Amino acid sequence: MNMQKASTMKLVKTIEEIRSQVAAWRKEGLSIGFVPTMGYLHEGHQSLIRKSREQNDRTVVSVFVNPMQFAPNEDFEAYPRDMAHDMAAVEEAGGDIIFNPEPSEMYPSHFTSFIDTTETTELLCGAVRPIHFRGVCTVVGKLFNIVCPDRAYFGQKDAQQLATIRRFARDLNFPVEIVACPIVRESDGLAKSSRNTYLSPAERQAATILSRSLELGRKAIENGERTPGKVIDLITASLKSEPLARVDYVEVVDFENIQRVERIEGSILVAIAVYIGKTRLIDNFIINL
């Protein structure tokens, strides 16, 4: 990413401003793509913006570190923020406008309404981050109502988030097409994430164990393994071979309902969460059999 020159990207802070811009575009008959983010954009986010640009006349990118999806012991305060960098990244990828509200704009006092989900949020990150998905779904639902996009773009790296947003958009009749985009990786396999910036050089090296372990699981399935427990054991043993890694979970679930399966068949999500030092990283692959 070349972020040297100052960006002229349009940035708005209020719901009124983004609504009136989208309304003006709609009046011209233009289609709207939407990429919700928490900022500190990397090539993964840029791939979503590029996909949206390909499929829509205009692309709105939101940059909002959503306090509601962080538990008190999590990294809301430390989460990296850099608006100059984000403006240049959106411009480079071809986005048209950034919506960057303050928390008070999104959550006025006495905010008491939430989107709660079941089934897809019971396991994986939902089991270990109990309030996380209520925060994600509530903010994404609000953003859908504010931006009113034709299509919204989500990365497969957050596969449980993707399955959950697909589900609530369907269940609650949000008139938006959810478009899934593949994981973007560093050359050594580490999935791109804003949280990778927390890693020390030694931890950054150790973090390659995530994709390497998943690759072992994928090969086992490709070679005919169909028992979830065996794939989980293989991946867990590989992760444990890295002294800086602490396994949070390794799961094999069906990608639609995010429920455990007895046998590996259909559309399967193999997902892991691992602490490297203090940084919690997630990664996954989806296999269709």
Smallest separation (angstroms) from ligand PAF to the CB of 135: 7
Name 131's bridge partners. Answer: none
Q: Of 231 and 280, which CB lies nearer to ligand PAF in the complex structure? A: 280
Query: Which tokens hold the place of 115?
Result: 């989107």
| Cα 194 to chain centroid, rounded | 10
Q: Of 137 and 276, which CB lies nearer to ligand PAF in the complex structure? A: 137
Instruction: Name the one residue in this structure whose structure tokens are 């560093």.
Output: 186
Active site residue 45: yes
Q: Of 136 and 234, which CB lies nearer to ligand PAF in the complex structure? A: 136
Instruction: Name the one residue in this structure whose structure tokens are 């994404």.
Output: 140
| CA within 13 Å, CB half, 77 | 2
Using alpha carbons, list the distances in angstroms from residue 159 to 42, 124, 277, 282: 18, 10, 23, 10
Provide the binding-site residues for ligand PAF, judged by CB under 6 A. Answer: 36-38, 66, 69, 136, 139-140, 158, 161
Smallest separation (angstroms) from ligand PAF to the CB of 228: 26
Q: Of 67 and 277, which CB lies nearer to ligand PAF in the complex structure? A: 67
Instruction: Name the one residue in this structure whose structure tokens are 């989900």.
Output: 117
Q: Of 139 and 207, which CB lies nearer to ligand PAF in the complex structure? A: 139
Smallest separation (angstroms) from ligand PAF to the CB of 252: 23
Q: Which ranges of the chain would DSSP assign to H, the alpha helix?
A: 15-27, 43-55, 83-93, 103-106, 124-128, 132-147, 159-171, 201-206, 209-222, 228-240
Q: Which of 42, 45, 110, 132 is catalytic?
A: 45
Smallest separation (angstroms) from ligand PAF to the CB of 45: 8
C-beta separation of 244 from 266 below 8 A: no
Smallest separation (angstroms) from ligand PAF to the CB of 36: 4
Largest Cα–Cα distance in the chain?
A: 58
Active site residues: 45
